[in-house]
Amino acid sequence: MKILSLIPARSGSKGIKNKNIKLLNNKPLLSYSIEQSLNSKLINRTIVSTDSIEYSKIASHYGAETPYLRPSNISGDLSTDLETFSHALNWLKEKENYVPDICVHLRPTHPFRNIEDIDKMIKMIISDPNIDSVRSISEATETPYKMWRVENENSLIPLLKEIKESYNMPRQSLPKIYYQNACIEVIRTETIINKKSMTGDNIKGYIMNYNYDIDTEEDFIRTENVLKFKEIISGNKKKVFCFDIDGVIANIVENLDYSQSTPNNKIIKIINRLYERGNKIILFTARGYVSKINWEETTKKQMKKWGLKYTELIFGKPAADFYIDDKMLSLTDLVNLSIF
């Protein structure tokens, strides 16, 4: 089958200037999507759709085709994916008599993708001729069952009404909700051309447990930290890793009663592997900072019981090469990226 990967990379980003070619760990952002596309076992053509000669040269350098420049009238802030894909398909048919069977949409703002996810989604649409498109989705951290619309004089109207007073129910008892994470989209060409839609009517979801869409400077920092972390893990140079206990190693407990803490065994396994590779592991905690209760012995006993290997335990915050806490760089990032 003819499977085309299209990577849209317009030059007029407002939030972050030239975001699509901004260097991420010394490589332009769009290069990651190009490399992923080229490494797919099923995609047999990779094109970058851009309105910029500079972007076009960069994309070509990393192996993508750039047979045309996208017109400025479909390269603005309000331009749609449908316009971009329709233009590409019409141009390819007119100039090259090329019509792909399937289009794969890879946004350059997603530097991390498992290539096997791309191929699995393509196989999904190939296996069922009734499927119009497949979209990658992730579980939402906030549930719309507890969301509201604000109408006249601050009156609250529930966003969803299918469950009576869902806004008063425990979150755990509500249905899981997923959002489209804009990482990978696979669409039949006939859906785009004939139905004039990027989804069609029969849409399948592909669940992912990761999402690295870059939209802000903070997203860049977080993502670059993960890349640097990955490079260090794969190298021989030893580093100092500093891990917050609560929220990383131990699950959060209510009322600051740390005697009731439970371990995050997946994270502990990763930390032990870091330790076994010769890295220095420092644990830090703010336990007792507010209550003035001495949690030192309890904490040491917990670490021993949980089988955690570490170099030093500090009540406070020491100096380190990397801080892994529940704010910026998290071990969940590393687990999702399958670094270990």
Alpha helices in 62-174 (DSSP H): 81-96, 115-127
Q: How confident is the model at residue 326 (pLDDT cuts 50, 70, 90)?
A: very low
Asked whether residue 77 falls in the same domain as residue 205, the answer is yes
Q: 32 and 13, same structural domain?
A: yes
Q: Looking at the structure, do residues 161 and 92 belong to the same domain, yes or no?
A: no
Q: What is the CATH number of the domain that holds 295?
A: 3.40.50.1000
Count the residues in the chain.
340
Same domain for 60 and 124? yes
**Residue, of 204 and 13, whose pLDDT is higher:** 204
Q: Is the pLDDT of residue 209 over 80?
A: yes
Whole-Å CA distances, 148 to 114, 143, 157:
35, 11, 5
pLDDT at residue 336 is higher than 60: no
Domain boundary among 195, 214, 233: 214
Last residue of a domain, one of 161, 192, 214: 214
Give me the mean pLDDT over the 203-214 stretch: 91
- Among 214, 229, 261, where does a domain finish? 214
* For residue 337, pLDDT beyond 70: no
45 and 194 co-located in one domain: yes
Average pLDDT of the residues in 321-339: 56
Q: Which residue has the tokens 């949409």?
A: 105
Q: Are 58 and 27 in contact (CB under 8 A)?
A: no
| Greatest mean pLDDT among 85-89, 217-221, 237-241, 317-321 | 85-89
* Same domain (yes/no): 194, 170: no
Q: What's the mean pLDDT when you consider all of the chain?
A: 90
Number of domains in the chain: 3
Kindly state the tokens that stand for 46: 């990779």
CB 204 within 8 A of CB 134: yes
Cα end-to-end distance, the chain, whole Å: 34
Q: Does the pTM of the predicted model rise above 0.85?
A: no
**Domain match, 185 and 262 both:** no
CATH code (residue 120): 3.90.550.10
Nearest to 45 by CA among 78, 76, 88, 86: 88
Q: Cα 219 from chain centroid? A: 10
Could you tell me what percentage of the chain is helix, strand and coil, using 3-state DSSP and rounding each to the nearest 5? Answer: 35, 20, 40
2 confidence band (pLDDT: 50, 70, 90): very high
At residue 153, the pLDDT reads 87
Q: Is the pLDDT of residue 323 over 80?
A: no
Do 286 and 203 have their domain in common? Answer: no
Tell me, yes or no, whether 81 and 207 share the same domain: yes
Number of H helices, E strands in the chain: 9, 14
Structural domain boundaries enclosing 181 = 3-140+177-214
Please check whether residues 40 and 185 belong to one and the same domain. Answer: yes
Kindly state whether residues 69 and 199 are assigned to the same domain: yes
136 and 149 inside one domain: no
CA quadruple 182, 188, 190, 194: dihedral sign = negative
E-strand stretches of 166-279: 178-188, 203-208, 240-244
98, 187 contact by CB (below 8 A): no
Residue 111, pLDDT above cutoff 70: yes
